[in-house]
Structure 1
Amino acid sequence: MNSHLLFPQIGKVIASTGSRHFPRHLHDLIQTHLTIDATHIRRIRVAPACSPQVEATLLSETVFSAGEPSDAFDDPARLHLARRKNGYHYEITVLRADPRYGFSATERSRLEAISPLLLPMLEKHISALQPATLPASEPESLEQRFEERLRQTGIALSEREMQVCAGLLAGHTAPQQAERLQLKVNTVESYLRRAAIKLGISGRHSLMRWMYGELSL
């Protein structure tokens, strides 16, 4: 896995939450781990077992690697990721057009390894699409989402520590952040180390998981 490709893609996915660009960026992120031809995302409202209502698909969208789908997608090879939360079922399905080239156990493990990151991001994206969850003025920024996450966990960071973490979530490297914040690279890294200690994390992956993982109440 090439981390130089991975982290900018993660930043693009996070920054596009709630926009029409999200499915494409999610697809590109998954492609840093697997060779795929399409990514399908879906949310379903799951009716309680005692309810006469049937499940209702509330969102369904597919992104293809190149151009429009061909007849080969009539019977593709596929892998599923899914989670159920608060009466909703969230799904990410990755596909290969030719069923002869199925996914190996190693590839399945690769996808499952990043599922704690992908599925919460899908949930956040769909939540941001709901009109009732949007502020009256404009959609929530990445920095605002990060500050809200800090508030939920009761952790206090300095302004610089928050700026560095938000930049990291957006896919910026330490040199890029140093230029953006007009600081030295080692100063940026120092702020990140301090924030990591307070957050109880160890690096980029841990920060992503902390941002989009479940709260421990």
Structure 2
Amino acid sequence: MSSNVSRSALLSLPPELRNQIYDLVASDTEQITIRNGTVLPHCFSQVCRQIRNEFGPLFKAMTKQSPPYLSPATIRIQLENFDFNQTVQAIDRCRHDSNTRFEVEIWVTKQLHRSDWEKMWSWVSFCDELAYRKDAYDENILATYEIGQKFGSCNVYAACHEMYIEVVPYILNGNARGGCTSAGYEQIEKMRLALSTAIGN
């Protein structure tokens, strides 16, 4: 009952005040979710139809502003088969730095081959570039990986082998930057570990 009263109080305000409140809610967004390259609607849009119709377009417009307007502390990434190609473009629609947390959820729906691993390079390059935004290079990108699969869809040993073949040139070409492992390579290792532990069990 109390939630209905609160909702009615908000919707009874003049449109100008509601828009100011919507702007405050959007600008204070702590987490956004990017699914297959698309920024998902804000959870506030689920309150009721009117708020979805009024707040939804405003939030969507903010995800397309240049320079970026939103500054979430956490970016949740959901994608299939390690295809990061559209994800990085979506991340660039909000402000982020080496303190931003990335929670990456990957769903594997097929056997992964080298052509699939090529699609992770946009993410690897993004992490390398992000590490250089500080005065001193810091390869510690705050990213975690959770991987699941459609039952029986992927042979993990073959997939990890294909991944290794794909990344060997990256290592040999000096991207480990001498004695310092690159941020991108650190993320590759995290993904390999997550793949072998989650799908291999």
TM-score (norm 1): 0.22
The structure that has the greater radius of gyration is 2
Q: Which has the higher contact order (CA 8 A, sep 6+)?
A: 1
TM-score (norm 2): 0.23
